[in-house]
Amino acid sequence: MAYYERRGEAWRAQIRRKGFPTLSATFDTKAEAQRWAAGIEGDMSRDRFVDNREAQQTTLHDALKRYRREVSDHKKGARQESVRIDRWLEHPLAAKSLAAITSSDLAEYRDARINDGAAPATARLDLAIISHLFTVASKEWRMDGLNNPCKNLRMPKGSNARDRRPTTAELNKLYAAAANIHAELPIIIELAADTAMRRSELVLLRRDQIRGKVAYLEDTKNGERRSVPLSSRARELLSSLPLRIDGRYFSLSPQTVSNYFPLACQACSITGLTYHDLRHEATSRLFERGFSLMEVASITGHKTLAMLKRYTHLSPDGLAEKLG
């Protein structure tokens, strides 16, 4: 028989039946609790019962640590995801069991995160970790029947695509300021705005990856190999760098470049520009040079046309020139 108890804003359902373990779960409404209990009792009657005690005994804190160890650490974006997991581990929800977390809990987290100034995309990525964790727990950790509270959750709408492009004057000032921070930094910045390579693809580039006029990238963000044609200016910049024993072009790490870039912008009073905007700049330049959609996608590595569109911001002055 099922029993229902209101706890604050949530409802707790408990099932006690002879021959079966005592089960309980928490829901946003009594109706949801009743549907869950009816389904469990029906499965018990039809010998299709699935024991969810492990989900009741596993806290989100423990599940997140296991998720990081078994899933996140094997992703290319492991470092960024680890930062998000650390934030979750410090949140009060981490103390609750997986079976007790409701959609309302996560909705409150979503709203509080955005009210604290986080971008909608940031809140969405935070929730994506929880959603995938529940999927993995249900499919791979033998927590059959575990309800994913993100399933019916309204995700934050994405923010508008960035359209910030540096002017030629800004770039020249940026090169000069960057040179005062590190000799390699202005070259990295100019190459980023010319090749559309991602930060790690460019900074970790090795000499054996350059053959003729092409850079052959093996370890890309989406896991697929990519060939990037190099302009004469890009080849000139790379050839100007001294030979290194390790075969790399640059001594700086990707994270150091990310740390140095805002310092260079600040030194020359450039506002509203991020390192990632350089990839937007390079992509837009490719279209302005007359490359087709498929040609640009093959160079930049974008998997969908929708994402490629977000990275493309054609100069209105250039478009006006074409109109005559």
Model confidence pLDDT, tens digit, residues 70-82: 998 887 777 888 9
| Domain-embedded: residue 160 | no
Kindly state whether residues 174 and 71 are assigned to the same domain: no
Please identify which of the residues 221, 235, 248, 310 carries the catalytic annotation.
221
pLDDT of residue 2: 82
Q: Please confirm, yes or no, whether 279 is among the known catalytic residues.
A: yes
Lowest mean pLDDT among 21-25, 105-109, 121-125, 250-254: 21-25
Strand, coil or helix: 276 = coil
pLDDT of residue 240: 94
Cα(218)–Cα(188) distance, rounded to whole angstroms?
Answer: 19
Cα(226)–Cα(301) distance, rounded to whole angstroms?
Answer: 7
Q: Please confirm, yes or no, whether 113 is among the known catalytic residues.
A: no
Kindly state whether residues 45 and 62 are assigned to the same domain: no
Report the pLDDT averaged over residues 288-303.
Answer: 81
Kindly state whether residues 201 and 115 are assigned to the same domain: no
Report the pLDDT averaged over residues 145-171.
Answer: 81
| Domain-embedded: residue 200 | yes
Kindly state whether residues 85 and 202 are assigned to the same domain: no
Kindly state whether residues 172 and 124 are assigned to the same domain: no
Q: In the structure, what pLDDT confidence band is assigned to residue 319 with cuts at 50, 70 and 90?
A: very low
Kindly state whether residues 83 and 105 are assigned to the same domain: yes
Model confidence pLDDT, tens digit, residues 33-57: 888 788 777 767 766 555 666 777 8
Q: In the structure, what pLDDT confidence band is assigned to residue 324 with cuts at 50, 70 and 90?
A: very low
Q: Please confirm, yes or no, whether 311 is among the known catalytic residues.
A: yes
Kindly state whether residues 313 and 206 are assigned to the same domain: yes
Which position has the token pair 């390579």?
A: 197
Q: Residue 159 pLDDT > 60, yes or no?
A: no
Average pLDDT, the chain: 85
Kindly state whether residues 67 and 188 are assigned to the same domain: no
Please identify which of the residues 279, 280, 285, 313 carries the catalytic annotation.
279
Kindly state whether residues 312 and 249 are assigned to the same domain: yes
Kindly state whether residues 261 and 304 are assigned to the same domain: yes
Q: Please confirm, yes or no, whether 142 is among the known catalytic residues.
A: no
Enclosing domain of residue 45: 2-49
pLDDT of residue 38: 83
| Domain-embedded: residue 159 | no
Element containing residue 147 per DSSP (H, E): none
Q: Please confirm, yes or no, whether 276 is among the known catalytic residues.
A: yes
Please identify which of the residues 173, 226, 311, 313 carries the catalytic annotation.
311
Q: What is the DSSP string of 73-102?
A: GGSTTHHHHHHHHHHHHTSGGGGSBGGG--
Q: Residue 17 pLDDT > 60, yes or no?
A: yes
Which position has the token pair 């160079």?
A: 299
Please identify which of the residues 12, 17, 235, 276 carries the catalytic annotation.
276
Q: Please confirm, yes or no, whether 221 is among the known catalytic residues.
A: yes
Q: Residue 124 pLDDT > 50, yes or no?
A: yes
Number of domains composing the chain: 3
Please identify which of the residues 198, 280, 285, 313 carries the catalytic annotation.
198
Model confidence pLDDT, tens digit, residues 206-227: 999 999 999 998 877 666 788 8
Written as six digits, the tokens of 83 are 């930062």
Q: What is the DSSP string of 154-188?
A: -PPPPPPPP-----HHHHHHHHHHHHTT-TTHHHH
Kindly state whether residues 223 and 291 are assigned to the same domain: yes
Q: Residue 60 pLDDT > 90, yes or no?
A: yes
Cα(253)–Cα(166) distance, rounded to whole angstroms?
Answer: 24
Kindly state whether residues 34 and 104 are assigned to the same domain: no
Please identify which of the residues 110, 199, 280, 302 carries the catalytic annotation.
302
CATH of the domain at 282: 1.10.443.10
Residue 36, CA distances (Å) to 24, 43, 152 in order: 10, 11, 15
| Domain-embedded: residue 154 | no
Q: How many of the other CB atoms lie within 10 Å of CB of 65? A: 14
Strand, coil or helix: 220 = coil
